[in-house]
């Protein structure tokens, strides 16, 4: 098939997205597909082969003649439902979650509220709004004190550990919240969990398939999974299968599939957990995780017997399946 791979984007994760998109394009080509590369510049321009991309909606038009679009965009303006909405308007099949699932999962606060409503166990957390921080900083800090220390402070709608800080003192917490608000007017503060960091990949539509869970082991003197640990060679070691009990393993896989369906996700996701003994806490669901051949998402399925090329083929097939199923309804 002819597949348009979109990378880059306007978010802080632009460079990470380009690396993921390049790996996806190469994998699709090895699988026998024709790839059209589209790069979204930091200023929002869409380019292909150095030329502006013209988007025309309506019968007889597609995106550069593509049968399927594969967005590999991390963070806002790509993983949050905005590009997905554009592709819906163009009426072209695309890989990954739709508008609602994308928006829900990128917004960590909304995602956690949805999971809490369904009774899924999570790390204790609190949200900080920029307006509340400006009007009553002391009150916000007093509320956050209930989470204890250390805590992790994150922009609500970014990934790849961009803008995240570990705060170990009250002064450090205040500085971390202020820094995170530079990325997003909504910030999430999460309590520390001493459990192992476990990740599980998920693919599918209405009957999701989960990978074997993997364990993140940091190298060197790092004490948390920061940007450098994720993207510096040798910054972390992935152990598959994870060194957790059989009970915890099944719980991780079941929760990953449950969260996938509850959030309305389709195509793919990577679910992140903290595991302490048989206790499993859900942390996040990433709908466009890092996608290089060395990224955790693909490695977990590779360890489960699914090659990178086969994984990409399946995701393209899911995109077509979902598009056809949705167009069978009269909107």
In whole angstroms, give the CA distance from residue 307 to residue 72.
Answer: 19
In whole angstroms, give the CA distance from residue 36 to residue 63.
Answer: 10
pLDDT interval class at 227 (50, 70, 90): low
Residue 53: the pLDDT is 97
In a domain, 187, yes or no: yes
Name the percent of the chain lying above pLDDT 70: 95
In a domain, 198, yes or no: yes
**Mean pLDDT (whole number) for 122-146:** 97
CATH number for the domain that contains residue 231:
3.30.470.20
In a domain, 329, yes or no: no
Specify whether 273 is located in the same domain as 143.
no
pLDDT interval class at 100 (50, 70, 90): very high
CA-based max dimension of the chain: 60
Specify whether 245 is located in the same domain as 108.
yes
Residue 98: the pLDDT is 97
In a domain, 327, yes or no: no
Question: What is the C-alpha radius of gyration for the chain, rounded to an integer number of angstroms?
Answer: 20
**Average pLDDT of the chain to the nearest whole number:** 93
The residues, ordered by sequence, that sit 6+ positions from 119 with a Cβ below 8 Å of its Cβ are: none
- For the chain, what is the domain count? 3
Residue 60: the pLDDT is 85
Specify whether 7 is located in the same domain as 50.
yes
In a domain, 163, yes or no: yes
Residue 28 has pLDDT above 80, yes or no: yes
Residue 156 has pLDDT above 60, yes or no: yes
Highest mean pLDDT among 56-65, 71-80, 228-237: 71-80
Specify whether 234 is located in the same domain as 297.
yes
Please say which residue of 141, 156, 191 terminates a domain: 191
Specify whether 180 is located in the same domain as 150.
yes
Specify whether 151 is located in the same domain as 167.
yes
Residue 12: the pLDDT is 84
> What is the DSSP code (8-state) at residue 270?
E
In a domain, 185, yes or no: yes
Please say which residue of 191, 220, 243 terminates a domain: 191
Residue 229 has pLDDT above 60, yes or no: no
In a domain, 41, yes or no: yes
Specify whether 205 is located in the same domain as 317.
yes
**Mean pLDDT (whole number) for 132-155:** 97
**Mean pLDDT (whole number) for 215-238:** 72
Specify whether 239 is located in the same domain as 116.
yes
pLDDT interval class at 330 (50, 70, 90): confident
**Mean pLDDT (whole number) for 86-95:** 96
Structure tokens at 13: 């994760």
Residue 234 has pLDDT above 70, yes or no: no
Specify whether 14 is located in the same domain as 159.
no
User: Phi, psi at residue 19, to the nearest 5°?
Assistant: -65, -40
Specify whether 19 is located in the same domain as 132.
no
Residue 297: the pLDDT is 96
Specify whether 202 is located in the same domain as 115.
yes
Rounded to the nearest 10 degrees, the angle between the axes of helix 82-90 and helix 99-106 is 170
Overall residue count recorded for the chain in this entry = 331
In a domain, 331, yes or no: no
Residue 160 has pLDDT above 70, yes or no: no
Give pLDDT tens digits for 256-285: 999 999 999 999 999 999 999 999 999 999
Specify whether 37 is located in the same domain as 74.
yes
Please say which residue of 138, 172, 191 terminates a domain: 191
Residue 233: the pLDDT is 65
CATH number for the domain that contains residue 88:
3.40.50.20
**Mean pLDDT (whole number) for 154-163:** 79
**Mean pLDDT (whole number) for 125-141:** 98
CATH number for the domain that contains residue 179:
3.30.1490.20
- For 302, the domain range is 104-121+194-321
Question: Cβ of 87: how many Cβ atoms within 10 Å?
Answer: 24
Give pLDDT tens digits for 186-223: 999 999 998 999 999 999 999 999 999 999 998 876 66
Written as one string, the DSSP assignment of 51-74 is EEPPP--STT--STT-SEEEE---
Give pLDDT tens digits for 284-328: 999 999 998 789 999 999 999 999 999 999 999 999 999 999 999
């Amino acid at each position: 098939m002819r597949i348009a791979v979109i990378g880059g984007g306007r978010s802080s994760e632009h460079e990470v997205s380009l690396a993921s998109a390049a790996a996806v394009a190469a994998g699709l080509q090895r699988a026998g597909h024709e790839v059209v590369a589209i790069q979204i510049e930091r200023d929002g321009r869409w380019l292909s082969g150095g030329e502006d991309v013209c988007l025309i909606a309506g019968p007889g038009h597609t995106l550069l003649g593509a049968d399927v679009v594969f967005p590999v965009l991390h963070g806002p303006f790509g993983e949050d439902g905005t590009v997905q909405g554009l592709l819906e308007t163009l009426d072209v099949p695309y890989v990954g979650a739709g508008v609602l699932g994308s928006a829900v999962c990128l917004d960590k606060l909304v995602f956690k509220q949805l999971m809490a409503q369904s009774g899924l166990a999570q790390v204790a957390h609190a949200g900080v709004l920029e307006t509340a921080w400006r009007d009553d900083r002391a009150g916000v800090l007093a509320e956050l004190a209930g989470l204890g220390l250390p805590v992790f402070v994150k922009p609500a709608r970014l990934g790849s550990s961009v803008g995240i800080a570990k705060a170990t003192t009250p002064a450090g917490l205040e500085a971390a919240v202020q820094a995170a608000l530079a990325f997003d007017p909504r910030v999430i503060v999460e309590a520390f969990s001493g459990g192992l960091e476990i990740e599980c990949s998920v693919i599918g539509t209405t009957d999701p398939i989960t990978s074997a869970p993997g364990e993140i082991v940091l190298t060197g003197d790092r004490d948390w999974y920061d940007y450098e640990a994720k993207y510096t060679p040798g910054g972390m070691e992935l152990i598959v299968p994870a060194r957790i009990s059989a009970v915890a393993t099944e719980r991780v896989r079941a929760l990953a599939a449950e969260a996938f369906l509850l959030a309305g996700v389709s195509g793919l996701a990577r679910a992140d957990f903290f595991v302490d003994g048989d206790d499993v806490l859900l942390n996040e669901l990433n709908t466009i995780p890092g996608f290089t051949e060395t990224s955790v998402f693909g490695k977990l399925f590779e360890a489960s017997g699914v090659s990178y090329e086969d994984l990409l083929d399946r995701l393209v097939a899911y995109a077509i399946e979902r598009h056809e199923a949705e167009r069978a309804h009269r909107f």
